[in-house]
Structure 1
Amino acid sequence: MKIVSVDTLVVDFYRTNLVIVRVHTDEGIVGLGEATLEGKERAVQGAIAEVAEAVVGLDPTRISKILYELARDWYWRGGPVIMTALSALEMALWDISARDLGVPVSRLLGGATRDRVRAYANGWFSGAVTPEDYAAAARKTVESGFRGLSGTRSRTTT
């Protein structure tokens, strides 16, 4: 199996944009990774484009080798943009391997460690203006099953 292309999708997601990385193989398997770095979508897309040039033609199951060589060979190592790009690539490569084997990614990484994950609602207050709007949005969010709510946005008055 070989990597044939890498691309990104930028998805509007309330207060930020999500950056989704897709790694395509010659066998039709597509791995997904997440490369969101708030407010730096174009920078991350540029780093992903650099990554794509380096990985096309490689075997996507050689995850450690690919990541080691990319991290080692780039002159400017580290930093949030490059590390976000490499992290998304790694996620997508693990996804490809798991899909190829027909198992969840967790199985490749040592197995599931829990059966449930607690989550909190973020952005639940979108569109709220008045205190009553916030209260209604909070009630609706709690009714949907969330037990925790993130803080609200700050409003500046002039």
Structure 2
Amino acid sequence: MQTDTEAPRQEALGVLANAQMKDLTSAWDTWVNRPEVETIRGPETGLIMLRGRTGGGGTPFNLGEATVTRASVRIDSGEIGHGYCLGRDTDKARLIAVIDALFQREPSNIEFAILRPLRDVACARERRQRDEAAATRVDFFTVVRGED
């Protein structure tokens, strides 16, 4: 069962995993007090099985496989961070792990300096995609002719 203290960390990891690497590195470049980092595991790449359900509540079925990269690190103050991302980007998985460890130590600073800018970039990207899709929208209508 998830506790209240785990929810912000889980949400932060989701923001980090969904961010593009260029946005993640530009946010990380603003961080001044970088810790010493010890690699515990990885980064390593493997496959996971994706499962689905028909209609959201039906019998589970195997949908397919996805490539995932993970890493675990320990920072100099003792916190252990874990990073997961889709694809084969080992640098991204390691950077997510470092930021996760820092998030455990100073969540408000990570929120302000890294997570908030990443959320803003993601919102702008979604808005742009929505606007591009809306520009191609076609409204269909039926013209009614007189009585036959």
Compute the TM-score of the two structures, normalised by the length of structure 2: 0.31
Compute the TM-score of the two structures, normalised by the length of structure 1: 0.29
* Structure with the higher strand share, 1 or 2: 2
Greater radius of gyration (CA): 2
* Structure with the higher helix share, 1 or 2: 2
